A and B are shown apart, each in its own frame.
Chain A
Amino acid sequence: MQSHPPIPIAVQAIGILCGLGIGRDVFHAALSEGEGEWMPGGGDGPGPDVPTARIPAFDLKPFLNAPKTYLDPHSRAVLAALCLAHQGIDRDAVPPAERGLLLGTAWGNTESMVRFFADAVRKGPRLVKPFLFPHTYANTSAALGCMEWGLEGPHQVLTSGLTASGQAILEAVDLLREGRARRLFAGGADVLSAERLHTMPNLAAAAAPSAPFDPSSAGCRPGEAAVILALTVATASPTGLALLDGALDAADSPAQRPATVRRVVDDALRRAGIAPADLAFACVSADGNAACDRALGDGLAAALAPERSRPLALVAPAALCGNTGGATDALLCAAIDAVFAARLIPATGTTIGKFPLPAPLQLPAAPAPLPEGPAALALSLDAGGAACALVLARNP
């Protein structure tokens, strides 16, 4: 049963920074080429020996309306993405109280957290820098974004792991349909730090295999991304992309992950009014965490199989961008945008074709023409069991 009238939610703009580059056009080109760049885990400092996909260094000044004295790297990425998400948008066409920001992040401002406490240990807690502590909060980057762009409307920060940005996007869709805002920026961001890399489970070391859906994969490779969608209730969309609906769920145990994925896909498609046969392709969070990837594949196949006989092409951007934490679902939406725009399914597996995926799923061995179908699915599964499915369509 549809809980809201089918009001289209147009994606007016997408601001994106990730390991493939900065900006929508750069992302489109790099995804189509299918080549990622991997850096050592520590970046410029010491860190564990894992390959990482980092946002390229950039000058933040062009992205800011006013200079800042201190920003956590997470905040830098969010502010840059939010600026990019404002491109082509008349900011003042919507009053401040009717425009807002909803952000997902798995890890927040970890560098500031570590810097603050390292300061406390070195100098003693009486002599810490007070200005640093507000920057340790997970919602600070979003708050700075609201201040920078006058976003006084609906606001939320979700720190739910891999599905955080999907939850933020779905909440934004619902709030827009309920008339609580006229424009919402929604997405997610996460950046890496040496300390976080030491604690992240399921990482593949430098020489170990890591590939989506590969059962011999030793784990995932971490990445960074900040992706924000500008959303509005409209029938026309400059990007040609619209959000139809989605669903959230979570497994109560690892054994229930496939059933949870099946349920969330069923729910999302039903709410969006889309049949499995209508899907042109799916962008999924598979990242080389073999148990999760398998559950995701099995659940998706189970949701599609009875009604769909033709293959469904998959795109797994983590093969190029790494595991992007709380930015994942937003990055999957950006990848859907890229695929529709290029009319091309990129190849995103390094062990393509060397292992079977359950029917009707396919990970193309080489770039392939965009199949027929008005809609695409963004699907994520977190290692803790939370799942998110979003249905997007080419704007009619």
Chain B
Amino acid sequence: MPPLTPRTDSRPGPTVWITGMGAVTPLGTTVASTWTALLEGRDGITAIDRFDLGGIACTRGGQIRDWVPDAAADRAFEDPLLRFAAAAAREALDQAGLSASSAGSSRRTGVAFATNFGLAHTLQPWLGPVADTPQAVPPPPADPANGDVFCAGVAADRIAHLWRLAGPRGTVSLSCSAGAAALAWAGGLLRRRRAEAMLVIGADVITPFAWFGLCALRTMTRDRVRPFDRDRSGTLFSEGAGALLLETAAAARARGARPLAELRGWAVNNNAHHLAAPAPGGAGTARVLREALADAALEAAQIDHYNAHGTGTPPNDVTEAEAMASVFGAETPRIPVTAVKASLGHMMGAAGTVEAILAVLSLQNGRIPPTLHVENPDPACPLDLVRNHPRTHAMRAVISNSAGIGGNNAAVVLTHPDS
């Protein structure tokens, strides 16, 4: 395939490479095992049996079971959020050729953490009725070792301290767009030379607080997740983590590292329409896709694959399809689409990072994982959906889209390192 147009845009700055990836998902506790399971068409959704569901209708999701981290340091964390995050981060650093001793060496490697519910597992005892209610109980004493558990930023601190990582450190909490938004924030820091490397980790855990709330939103299905299917009836949530190490090309080359892909462009915006419903016609999504393409200095015609947000909820999928049509126009039928939430579930704060990892693997391998459970494609979503079996397809550029409660949208553009 011919190479992509070199950047000659008005946003100069270092090229941002992805040099390491790691994942803990309902389909596998490494990137490789997750990818293999996806290509084999496996479904990671099972019964939720970690706690008493209290009779709610939402009884299935992507619960990670029978797993403990390999590394003792990761097992030392009690909160599953930190276990997921540490294991994924460790895999990413290992792939990048950075060991525990070298990851936090003299160069500045920051941490960008993405999460919806933070340390909700640790926080659980303080979420009960503490105040003036008949069931009020004295709260347990806080353990200073846990830090300020109501602050989601504590997770990033704990992970950074594990590898002595010194550099910009922040936590993005932008609901289900958080993972992609964290990639955007981290990419920006690198492009502006505010850091040489950033470890981006998205993670979330199925806890009673999260699960009861997500069920109350009435967006979960009792069926399977069927993105863009005429009979779709909702999504299913899951847990886990995805981690990517971003480096400036110069910093990576200096230590002999090679890119897995380039993080070429990104954008984050808000619909300013409704807390839970998408903007009419997918206007906000369309704008964020256009902005990400402009940031990548690419035309819509240069995109070879679209990794959809594809939650399987009736409103999201049709508005996302409308947004695609608006942005890609006549190119839309040419661009294969996949929606991996059918296999993995919706991984909340981890979704954007895990889906970016899968987009990188698609670029590297020339294969697109299938969208499961689509038996009757919705005519209102006229897309080239990769269904049932993986598709072999040469790719230079992929765009991955996310959206979240609060009306936020985030999109990232990834390109093949040889392009």
Contact = CB atoms under 8 A, between A and B. Distances in A.
A131 to B, nearest CB: 9
A247 interface: yes
Contacts of A132: 216
Contact of B132 (A45, A155, A196, A386): A45
B172 A158 contact: yes
Contacts of A144: 275
Interface in B131-152: 131-133, 135-136, 139, 142, 144, 147-152
B148 A199 contact: yes
Interface residues of A, number: 84
A91 interface: no
Contacts of B144: 201
B258 interface: no
Contact of A45 (B123, B128, B131): B131
23 contacts: A1-B193, A45-B132, A46-B131, A106-B153, A118-B133, A122-B129, A126-B56, A130-B218, A133-B216, A137-B406, A138-B152, A152-B287, A159-B171, A161-B157, A167-B168, A171-B185, A196-B150, A200-B148, A200-B150, A250-B111, A250-B160, A250-B166, A384-B156
B32 interface: no
A152 B284 contact: yes
Interface stretch (B23-31, B221-229, B266-274, B350-358): B266-274
Interface stretch (B206-214, B312-320, B339-347): B206-214
A106 B148 contact: yes
Considering the complex of A and B, which 8 residue pairs feature the smallest CB-CB distances, nearest first? A143-B406, A384-B157, A250-B169, A133-B213, A248-B168, A161-B153, A138-B173, A252-B164
B76 interface: no
A161 B152 CA distance: 8
Contacts of B126: 114, 195, 198-199
A271 to B, nearest CB: 9
Contact of A107 (B150, B216, B270, B284): B150
Interface stretch (A95-103, A209-217, A314-322): A95-103
B47 interface: no
A253 B192 CA distance: 26
Given A125-B215, A151-B270, A158-B173, 5 more contacts: A120-B209, A139-B173, A156-B185, A248-B168, A253-B161
A252 B161 contact: yes
B175 A139 contact: yes
B194 interface: yes
A129 B212 CA distance: 10
B253 interface: no
Contacts of B150: 106-107, 110, 195-196, 199-200
Nearest to A173: B192
B359 to A, nearest CB: 22
A114 B130 contact: yes
Interface of B: 10-11, 13, 53-56, 104, 108, 110-111, 116, 118, 123, 126-133, 135-136, 139, 142, 144, 147-154, 156-157, 160-161, 164-175, 181, 185, 188-189, 192-194, 208-209, 212-218, 267-276, 284, 287, 291, 404-408
A161 to B, nearest CB: 4
A101 B405 contact: no
A137 B171 CA distance: 14
B272 A201 contact: no
B148 A117 contact: no
Interface of B is mostly: loop
Contacts of B272: 96, 146-147, 149-152
A383 interface: yes
A249 B174 contact: no
Contact of B110 (A155, A163, A175, A250): A250
Most buried by B among A113, A139, A167: A139
Of A3, A154, A156, A195, most buried by chain B (CB within 10 Å of CB) is: A156
Contacts of A158: 170-173, 185
B367 to A, nearest CB: 33
A45 B168 CA distance: 38
Contacts of A110: 150
Contacts of A180: 267, 291
A168 to B, nearest CB: 9
Given A100-B269, A106-B153, A199-B148, A253 B10 contact: no
Nearest to A259: B166
Given A160-B153, A195-B139, A3 B170 contact: no
Contacts of B127: 113-114, 117-118, 195
Contacts of B274: 147
